[in-house]
Amino acid sequence: ICGEAISKKFKIGRPEETFTCGLLHDIGKLVMHIIDPKRLEFILSQSKEKKTGFIDIERSHDMLTHAYIGEMMAMKWNLPQVVRQSIRYHHTDVEKLSTILPSAKKTIQMVRLANAMAVKNKIGKSGDYSLGQITNDMVEPLGLKVEQIEEIEKDLPRLMEKAGAFL
């Protein structure tokens, strides 16, 4: 929802593509729930206890991340490359990565920004207990400023209510 709102409001990329990438970005967590629920419980409890990000716990324990697991599933399902890369890199500033398709970078950046917005505004239950900070390196590659994101954040309750009515 957040990514689609960014895409629509600022006319960046394709809103439906950004929505799909945002919808699937944490699919690795669902896979983890099925294949290793004890590991998932450990990460969730550590994230909550330390008030930090889910990805930070994965990295600090040198685990395969939910982003990597999700990308592997997306490859198995033959999803488009932009979807696979959005899943894999939604915690990474991809602006300077030469291995990322230039045409996919803005979508990945929007998914990354939308993820931070969702955490910051306590939307959903991702298991991320960080503050969800929105930083300049998230907005500048999109040609935006942090203040512009605050406009969307004010509208999030309405957007979420609208999405809830749809579901």
pLDDT at 133 over 70: yes
pLDDT at 165 over 70: no
pLDDT at 37 over 70: yes
Give the mean pLDDT of 21-37.
Answer: 97
pLDDT at 81: 96
| Cα separation, 35 vs 32, whole angstroms | 5
pLDDT at 155: 85
pLDDT at 166 over 60: no
Give the mean pLDDT of 143-150.
Answer: 93
Which structure tokens are listed for 139?
A: 């907005």
Distances (CA, A) of 4 to 26, 97, 129: 16, 24, 23
Structure confidence at residue 123 as a pLDDT band (50, 70, 90): confident
CA angle 89, 101, 67 (to 5 degrees): 15
* Residue, of 160 and 89, whose pLDDT is higher: 89
Tell me: the pLDDT tens digits for 75-96? Answer: 999 999 999 999 999 999 999 9
pLDDT at 167: 55
Give the mean pLDDT of 51-61.
Answer: 97
Do the beta carbons of residue 47 and residue 54 sit within 8 Å?
Answer: yes
Poorest-confidence range of 13-17, 24-28, 119-123?
A: 119-123
pLDDT at 164 over 80: no
